[in-house]
Amino acid sequence: MPRSSRKALVFSYHTFGFGARKASMNFIAEELAGLGWQTDFVTTQLSLLSALARVPRLKAVPRKKRNTWIDVGENLSAFVWVPVFHPATGGVKLVARMTAPLYRRYPHLLPGSVRQKAREAELVLIESCSAVALFPLLKQLAPSAKFVYRACDPLDAIGMHPILTEIERQTLADYDLVTSPSPTVLAAYPPSVKKSHVLQGLQKDLFDVPVPSPYDGDGIHAVVAGDMVFDRESLATMVRNFPKITFHAFGRMDLRDLASHDNLISHGEVPFKTLRDYIVHADLGIAPYLDRAELRYLAESSLKLVQYTYARLPILAPHFCKNGQEHVKGYDPGDEASIIAAVEQACKVDRNAIDRSEILNWQEIVAKMLVDLGLAEQARDAI
């Protein structure tokens, strides 16, 4: 494939490496780099405030690896930005109002080396996190670049500071494209916004390659891939009532009060390929989301649901995640009888009947995004 001189700049909540799992923005960045785009990936939503709060995501990054560019692959570099402050979670309304003027100055802290990358970029992708505050500055630095907003989550639903929601509302119409895996999220945006439904993808080749099983024994193994809006009580109910199922939890969830149960193993954060091994050899996939109205979009955008389905795992999740899929067995959080019934039903699912034909790979996802941006030539290279 001919090498391109095009440059892309990606702003995300997530990091590359340091034991962190990969999310959609990581995969999109890797696909752009594979197409020949020089892709620079900036991790946001960290600061010295994160150090005070002992945020695990920051603790995992050595000091010498912060605020500096690191090569992480061909055509791909990463920068973990750790300024003095960032727009931390809103919390108490009075505190949110008091901190808003300070947090508006967050873009002023953007390092010179990142600003230079922005000046050179032809494509800028911003994830729904504190990075939305950077859009006005980035637009000044790169007035000719194409800007894409990847709205994986509504900012208020994931507890972002209200100033970010305000900035998002003020700037949405100025993006060249706003994408989301969730039609529900897109429907909340005004008609003036150029919107595109771009699904979650999957790096299918990583899931298709034969790998040895990481499990000990022949029993039933259930995997929990991630801690987003995690419902600890529903998982605890499963662990208590099904001692012959071994539950493997991945993420930053605190499960110390369940440590006395021999059938629960807490693995913490692990590299994606390690998590992949556990998913493809599991018997059940669990998506223990909290059941709140503002989280219903997760039925359309959850990456773990896509991963479980591609691995042909019966899935346990709140009823709102079913979305018409027979292999997803729904339950009512807080209702022990409902949870028990869902687990029993999931154990009887015919895995060979699980349909995964509509799942796209990340190449197809990036190709659609480029077409919607009017970059059809680059999109053809992606297919």
For residue 22, what pLDDT is reported?
Answer: 84
306-324: average pLDDT:
96
pTM of the model: 0.87
Question: At what angle are helices 362-372 and 24-34 packed, to 10 degrees?
Answer: 80
DSSP lists the bridge partners of residue 39 as: 8, 76
Q: Where are the alpha helices (DSSP H) in the chain?
A: 24-34, 48-52, 56-59, 93-103, 112-120, 135-141, 162-171, 183-187, 204-208, 232-241, 272-280, 298-301, 303-310, 336-346, 362-372, 376-382
**Residue 18: pLDDT above 90?**
no
> Taking the chain, what is the end-to-end CA distance rounded to the nearest angstrom?
12
DSSP lists the bridge partners of residue 7 as: 38
For residue 25, what pLDDT is reported?
Answer: 95
Higher pLDDT: 1 or 85? It is 85
For residue 383, what pLDDT is reported?
Answer: 56
What is the 3 state secondary structure string of 31-88?
A: HHHHCCCEEEEEECCCCHHHHHCCCHHHHCCCHHHECCEEEEECCEEEEECCCCCCCC
Q: In the CATH scheme, what architecture does the domain 7-201+361-382 have?
A: 3-Layer(aba) Sandwich (3.40)
**Residue 283: pLDDT above 70?**
yes
Domain 205-353 belongs in CATH node 3.40.50.2000: yes
40 touches 9 (CB < 8 A) = yes
Indicate the domain borders of the chain: 7-201+361-382, 205-353
pLDDT 10s digits, 36-74: 999 999 999 999 999 998 888 899 999 999 999 999 999
CA angle 237, 240, 242 (to 5 degrees): 100
249 touches 235 (CB < 8 A) = yes
**Residue 4: pLDDT above 60?**
no
111-128: average pLDDT:
98
Q: Percentage of residues in the chain with pLDDT exceeding 90?
A: 84
Task: Tell me the two tokens of residue 201.
Answer: 């993808």
pLDDT 10s digits, 195-241: 999 989 999 999 999 999 999 878 999 999 999 899 999 999 999 99
DSSP lists the bridge partners of residue 250 as: 225, 268
368 touches 198 (CB < 8 A) = yes
**Residue 95: pLDDT above 70?**
yes
Do 205-353 and 7-201+361-382 fall under one CATH topology? yes
**Residue 378: pLDDT above 90?**
no
